[in-house]
Amino acid sequence: MNLENLSTNLKKLNSIRILNVKRNLIKTFPPELNDLKNLIEIDLSDNAFTKFPDNLLSLEAIETINLSMNKLDKVSISTKNQKIKYLYLSHNVFEEIPPDIVNLTSLKHIAFNENYISEFKETIFDKVKNRKFFIDIANQYCPTIKNNKYGNLIEIPLLKKIDDKAETATK
């Protein structure tokens, strides 16, 4: 049997650090669960999310969010989150890398592989020149990715040489 909702009773588990509720039919993350002050990792992959649950970014200790294999096409990150290090958004329906990711100031790795990204907008990375993180954009469901001279795994910003033919990057 698949869960369709997360119980707000989970907030009673205030010492929980990892929550794995993948492979269900969950569509929302109840605001009442923002009381999970020790939650550092949440796996909501393979559910029924069509909208990024913004309140996940309000979790005090959260470092890893996995929302892969949902139906997300947008992420709106209006506040600067100092904790998020890993954000997995693979196998969704994104058509572009959301410019709001620059607000995740501690980000180390973000996965956008197996989406529908058709154009690579480098202006996003002009805003993060002094930060270093990886963006995985492998296996997009489109014939070509325009303006992507970096290959499938992008390391920002400490690249000195990019070899378009070999799809490798060196420092």
Long-range CB contacts for residues 14-21, cutoff 8 Å, separation at least 24: 14/38, 17/41, 17/61, 18/42, 18/43, 19/43, 21/47
Q: Is 73 exposed, middle or buried (0-12, 13-18, 19+ CB in 10 A)?
A: middle
Confidence band for 167, pLDDT divided at 50, 70 and 90: very low
Higher-confidence residue of 153 and 78: namely: 78
pLDDT per residue over 101-122, tens digit each?
878 888 888 898 899 887 766 6
Position 82: which residue type? Q
Provide DSSP, the chain: ---SS--GGGGG-TT--EEE--SS------GGGGG-TT--EEE--SS--SS--GGGGG-TT--EEE--SS--------S-BSS--EEE--SS--SS--GGGGGBTT--EEE--SS---B--THHHHTTTT--EEEE--S-SSS--BT--S-SEEEES--SEEETTTTEEE-
Percent share of the chain, pLDDT over 70: 74
The 10s digit of each residue's pLDDT in 122-151 is 666 666 666 777 778 777 776 555 555 555
Give the mean model confidence (pLDDT) for residues 5-14: 88
Q: Measured over all CA atoms, what is the biggest interatomic distance in the chain, rounded to whole angstroms? A: 54
Structure tokens at 97: 């890398």
